[in-house]
Structures are given as C-alpha cells and as structure tokens.
Amino acid sequence: MIRNIFIFLHRWVGLLMAVFLIMVGLTGSLLAFHKELERVFAAELYAAPHPGETPLDAATLMERAPAIDHARVVGIQWGEADRANIVYQPDKNPATGKPYDIGFNELFVDPWTGAELGRRDRNDYTKRVNFMRFIYKLHVALLVSGPGTLILGIVAVLWTLDCFNGFYLTLPVSLSAFWRKWKTAWVIKRGAGFYRLNFDLHRASGLWLWPMLLVFAWSSVMFNLRPVYDWTMSLFMQHSSIIAEAMKLKDLPQPAAKPAPALAPRAALEAAERLAAEHTGIPVHEVPGMMFSYVDKMGVYMYGARSGAPAKGFLEERPTMIFVDGDTGALADVPMMRIMEKVDIVDQWLVALHVASVFGLPYKIFVCVLGLVIAMLSATGVYIWWKKRKARRFRKKPGAAAE
C-alpha cells in the first residue's frame, strides 16, 4: 500500500516536472561550456590575437572608449583576456525622469588597441550574439525573472524529494535475496525491447548518477528558493542564512546615493587597486577577471579582481572586492556586502559543482553529459507512463481479454 503511494507520487511529480527538467537539462548541458559557446555565437565581440603585445591598462581603455550621447563611462568589466566591456551609465532624461535609452548595455573593446569591437543589448534575444544569454536566462528564470525563478524553485524542491522517492522505488520489495534482486536495477539489459530499454535507462542511470542528481537538485533549490534551502540546512548543520544576515545589516547606515562621482574613473581605479593591495597584502591583477564600476545608488566605486592568494583545495579563491568613495577615493564601508563573507563552505561547493567551476575540463564534460541525462530521465519517464497508461486502457477495453 505504502509503495503504491510512492509510485503514484513518482509518476505524477515526474510528469509535472518533465517539461521543466528537459529544458533545464538541455540548457544546462550547453551552459557547461558557456564561455566556449559564447566565442562561437558572438565571435565578433572578441579581439584578434596580438602575439607579443602587452594590453593597455583598464584606465586607458576607459579613457579611449567612444563617446556616447547622454551617457558617461563609469567602469569596465574585463573577464577575458581578449575583450573588455566598457560600462556606461545613461544620463537621466529631464523630460521623463528616466535614464536615456542608449541602445545597448554592453560595449566591447580590443584590450590591445582600445578599438570598439561591437555593442549589444543583452535583453534582445533575437540576435545571434545573445544566444548564450538567452540559454542562460531560460535556464535560471524561464526568461521571466521573479515568477520564473519561483516556478523553478518549486520544481527544484519536488525534484529533490523525488530523488529520494525514486531511489526507494528501485529497492526490492522483499529482503530475501536483496542484493541479487537489486543488482538488476543497476544494469541495462542487452537485446531488450524498446520499452525495456527505456525502463532500464531510466532506472539504472538514475541509480548510478544519484548523488550528482541530488547535488544539482538541491543546489537548484539554493539558487531559486533560498528560504527553503536555508531553513532545511539549519536543521542538519550550523548554517549561516544569507537572508537572516541581510536582515541584520539592512538597518545599518548605508552609503548615500550620488548621481555622479567627483572622482574620475582613472583616479578611482588607482585608489581602489592601491587599497586592495593594502587590504589583502597580495598584489592584484587586472586581467582576466576584474570588474570596476560606479554604483550611483550608493555613491561608491566597486572594484573586484582576482588575487594571487592560494585556492582553497579545488575551489577558486574568491576575488578581492572593495568599495571606494566616489568623491574622495577613501575605503568605503558597504554593510550589505558583508554577507558574502558568511557563505558556508557547503554553499561554495554546491555553487562550484553546479556551474562546473572545479576539476577543469573533465568535470565540464561530465556536467554537459549529466544535463543530457537529466533530460533523458524525464523523457523516458514520460514514455514509461504513456506505455503503462496505454496498457491499462487496453485492459479495460471491452473484449480485450478475449483478444
């Protein structure tokens, strides 16, 4: 009786999740090679190689950036060695009180010459250069931030629970000859019919990859439904809730908003680099992986860059991140950013495993394949349900037994 209830839940929860898991599985498979595929679909936004040449510094790239009507340069994002994204802040239109539409939110330049490579609006999914952006947004929010994130969070909770239910249903009903009976659940029978092949793929793949399926299901809860994740983790371990930490800090004095800083980007960047080196005791490196931008809502420049600090095991070292006052260049205190210091090691590992930022190329390939397996598990589950439903209808059909 109890097993029948779990079978019922596995069947209908699986059907409810199927479309979403097929979608996130396939998109996640592509996102495992996000950077590589970005170079394919947005090749024109990368500079040609300049062997033996030294790239310009970030301040010079900002100063050489093209002038844009109704906008000013406030920063740079230099994530990869062969392209840099100049950050512009649109002025406010006095007639509407809203920022001017400058037609793009990314402008890329050649790091060696400062020449413009191209512009794009990341939210225009009709353009080829935004294909990977489209895939990412579909994966994390169904292209609709807010409702889409909530839906995927609910699906992630159901997926997590169904991982345990699915595992239970692979176990033999009786304990007699337990291991001999359970062994069949781990293998794919050769020469079997199409239905049996689907059934074995569904069951055996789910068993062999069960630990990683659970990791991806639960990390999806962390990304999309944080209150549920924090509450559950606190039941099993000493866990720091990001939401609780944010609530503690929200009433502390925050930097005041300033529409425009008195300090030019070059001076602010030099101050930020100097303070970052003093703050960490480790020289910072501009490329790749640096970001610098003015945040008008807090009146500060935000600076982040990879440091030369040793990594913690397989995890990448967190970037150096500081804030400097937009008028004075002095170190600024932004209380809300302290929550980043509270991230648990478990959370860090879940993020790293989910986004394939550990173990190099072999793990990227594994995540790519796992995405396809997740889609396959949902597709085979739907097929199994359809075949069983068809068989039940046939048995109920008048005269079926005689046939």
Query: Does the reported pTM lie above 0.75?
Result: yes
Edge-first strand order for the sheet with 71-80 is 116-120, 106-109, 83-90, 71-80, 290-295, 300-305, 320-325
> What integer pLDDT is reported at residue 403 of this predicted model?
42
Q: Side-chain half-sphere of 359: how many Cα atoms within 13 Å?
A: 13
User: Cis omega before residue 261 (within 30°)?
Assistant: no
Q: Are 356 and 32 in contact (CB under 8 A)?
A: yes
**Adjacent-strand bridge partners of 87:** 75
Q: Among the residues of 185-294, which ranges form H helices?
A: 194-208, 210-224, 226-236, 242-249, 265-280
Residue given tokens 């009903």 in the structure block = 173
Per-residue pLDDT of the chain (403 residues; tens, 9 = 90+): 789 999 999 999 999 999 999 999 999 999 999 999 999 999 999 999 999 999 999 999 999 999 999 999 999 999 999 999 999 999 999 999 999 999 999 999 999 999 999 999 999 999 999 999 999 999 999 999 899 999 999 999 999 999 999 999 999 998 888 999 999 999 999 888 999 999 999 999 999 999 999 999 999 999 999 999 999 999 999 888 888 877 877 778 878 889 999 999 999 999 999 998 887 766 666 666 889 999 999 999 999 987 655 556 677 777 788 999 999 999 998 887 777 777 888 999 999 999 999 999 999 999 999 999 999 999 999 999 999 888 877 677 666 554 4
pLDDT at residue 248, rounded to an integer: 79
- Token pair 């800083």: residue: 261
> Residue 28 in contact with residue 139, Cβ under 8 Å?
yes
pLDDT computed for residue 192 by the predictor: 83
How many other C-beta atoms are found inside a 10 Å radius of the C-beta of residue 81? 15
Which structure tokens are listed for 198?
């689907």
pLDDT of residue 123: 92
Distance (Å, rounded) from C-alpha 344 to C-alpha 141? 24
Residues 180 and 190: their CA atoms lie apart, in Å, by 18
What was the pLDDT predicted at 402?
Answer: 46
Burial class (CB in 10 A: 0-12, 13-18, 19+), 375: buried
d(CA 241, CA 117): 42
Instruction: Assign 3-state DSSP to the chain and report helix, strand, coil percentages, each to 5.
Output: 55, 15, 35
Cα angle at 238 between 235 and 240, to 5 degrees? 100
User: What pLDDT, on a 0 to 100 scale, did the predictor assign at position 250?
Assistant: 76
Contact between 378 and 22 (Cβ < 8 Å): yes
Does the bond joining 227 to the residue before it have cis omega, within 30 degrees of 0?
Answer: no
Q: Say which residue the tokens 């394949």 belong to.
A: 369
Of 321, 345, 347, nearest in space to 334 by CA: 321
pLDDT at 278: 85
